[in-house]
A and B are shown apart, each in its own frame.
Chain A
C-alpha cells in the first residue's frame, strides 16, 4: 500500500524522529547502568534482572520520547497545514489514518525492541551481576511494556487529532498519568475510595510498572499480562481514539 511508503518517508525524513529515538535508547541504557557506574565495586551493586528493571527503565521516560514521535504524525500536519497535502493525496481519510497509525506504531515498536536489546547487551556486559536474565519472566515484562506504550500512544494520537495541537497530545496524557488523577484521588479518595479503580491513566501506569496487586499476584505468564490489564485504561483509550477518528472523518482541513 502506497500510504505505508508515504508515511515511512514522512516519518523517516525528519531529523527530529531520529534524534528523539537515539535519546530514548541512550537514556534507557544510562538509567540501567547508573547503579553500576556509581558503585565503587560494580559487582557489589544490587543485583538485578531484566524483568525487575525494564518497566522502570522503559515506561516513565522512554514513553515521553515515543509519544512525541507519535504525536508528530498528525501534529506536524496540522501545525504546518500539510494535512491538505496529505489528504489531497489520500482523500480516503480512513486510509491515511490507517497508514499513519500503523507506521508510527511500528516505528515505536522497532525503537522499543532496539532499546530492549541495548539493555540486554548491557546486562550481559556486567557479567558478574547476579540474577542475569530470567527468560521465563522476560516475555511478560517485554509484552507489558509494549502494550502499555501502544495503548498510551493511541490516546496521544487521539488528543492531537481532536485538538490539532501536538504539544497537548504529549502533555495531556502525561499530566493525567502523573498529576491530575493523583490529585483528584488525594482530595476525593477518602470519600470515594472506589474512584481510583476507574482512573485509566494511573491504573495503566501501575499495571505497566508492576505495582498492580493483580499483576504482582500473577506476574508469571504472558496470559497474565492480558488478564491483569486494567479495563478502564484500555477502554478509555479506544473510546478516545474512536471519537477522534469520527471527528477526523467529519471535519474540514482548514
Chain B
C-alpha cells in the first residue's frame, strides 16, 4: 500500500512543530524516519493517523483512513512502549485490539508465541520491562497483519538479539509488499534496517532518499588524497573555492568526484600517491547535516 502525506503541518502556540511536510512511503520498503529530539517526528506520526489535528492529509492508496472499514488491517501502529493499561494482561490487551478487526483468539495466541510473550501473556502489563513492553506494542501493531506499519522508536530498550530479530522481521515484512516507517535514534541500526530515509529537522524535510544517496550527497570531505606537494594542492583547491582539511600527509577534500581531483593533480604536475573515497556512516552524515539546525544541543563539558 502506498502512503502519501501531503502538506502535513502543526503548530503548538507560536511554535511551528511540523511545516508543510510531504513524502511518500512506497510498498516493499523499510523507510527510516530520522530527526533530532524535538524535530517533529512523533508529531508527524500522530498527524498521519489524525490523532493530532493539523494541516495536510495522509492518503492510504489514495483514501483517508476513515474510509476503510477495518483500520488495523490497513495500518498497524506502535507509538509508545507503554501505551496500555497497566492492570490489563498482555493477552487481554491484544484481545481488545483484535476486536476492531475481528481477529480471533487463535491469532492472538499465535502472535503472543511469535513475539516471545507466552510466559507473561497472563501477567499484568505493569510488571513488564521496557523490552517486554516494546514487544507487546509490536504484537499489537502486527496483530491484524496490516499493509502499513508505523513504528515510533520500536528498538528502544530491546536487547541486541531482539534488535537483530526486529531488523530481520521488518525487512521480511516489507519484502511481502508492505510499507514500513520506523523512527529511531539508533542510527547505526537504521543503516542496517532501512533502505530509504526521511530526515526532518525543526519540522521541515531535509532529505527523502536512499541511505546511499543521502550519505553521498551530504558527506563533506569524502575524498582523501596523499600527494608529493600537499601545500600546493591545498592552495589550488582553496583558490577554486573547494574546502580542504589537512591531516598529516593526507588532504581531506570536500569533493565527490575522484576523477576530477586526479585530473586536477595531473594538470598541476602533482604526483598522487594515494586517492580514495572515505564513505561516511549514516550517523556521521546525519550529525553533520542536523548539527546546524538542531534546536536542543547538548552543551560541552
Contact = CB atoms under 8 A, between A and B. Distances in A.
Query: Is this pair of chains taken from one and the same complex?
Result: yes
Interface of A: 2-3, 5-6, 8-10, 13-16, 76, 80-82, 84-85, 87-92, 250-254
B101 A13 contact: no
B95 A80 contact: no
Nearest to A253: B51
A85 B83 contact: yes
Interface in B14-63: 43, 46, 49-53
Nearest to A10: B96
Contacts, number: 86
B164 interface: no
A139 to B, nearest CB: 35
Nearest to A4: B99
Interface of B: 43, 46, 49-53, 65-66, 70-72, 75, 77, 79-80, 82-89, 92-93, 95-97, 99-102, 140
Nearest to B10: A252
Nearest to B51: A253
B66 A2 contact: no
Contact of B85 (A82, A87, A88): A82
Given A80-B83, A88-B49, A5 B65 contact: no
Contacts of B93: 13
Contact of B53 (A76, A88, A250): A250
A54 to B, nearest CB: 33
10 contacts: A2-B101, A6-B96, A13-B92, A13-B95, A16-B87, A76-B85, A80-B84, A88-B51, A252-B53, A254-B46
B95 A2 contact: no
B96 A91 contact: no
A84 B85 contact: no
B104 to A, nearest CB: 12
A8 B99 CA distance: 9
A98 to B, nearest CB: 14
Contacts of B140: 85
A229 to B, nearest CB: 36
A76 B97 CA distance: 16
B85 A80 contact: yes
A251 B53 contact: yes
Give the interface centre of B66, B75, B93, B96 by most chain A CB atoms within 10 Å. B96
A84 to B, nearest CB: 5
A44 to B, nearest CB: 47
Contacts of A16: 87
Contact of A87 (B51, B88, B96): B51
A69 B21 CA distance: 41
Contacts of B79: 84-85, 88
Contacts of B46: 84, 252-254
Contacts of B53: 250-252
A85 B84 contact: yes
B252 to A, nearest CB: 44
A252 B51 contact: yes
A81 B100 contact: no
B51 to A, nearest CB: 4
A92 B66 contact: yes
Contacts of B95: 9, 13
A39 to B, nearest CB: 42
A6 B97 CA distance: 7
Contact of B100 (A2, A14, A254): A2
A15 B79 CA distance: 26
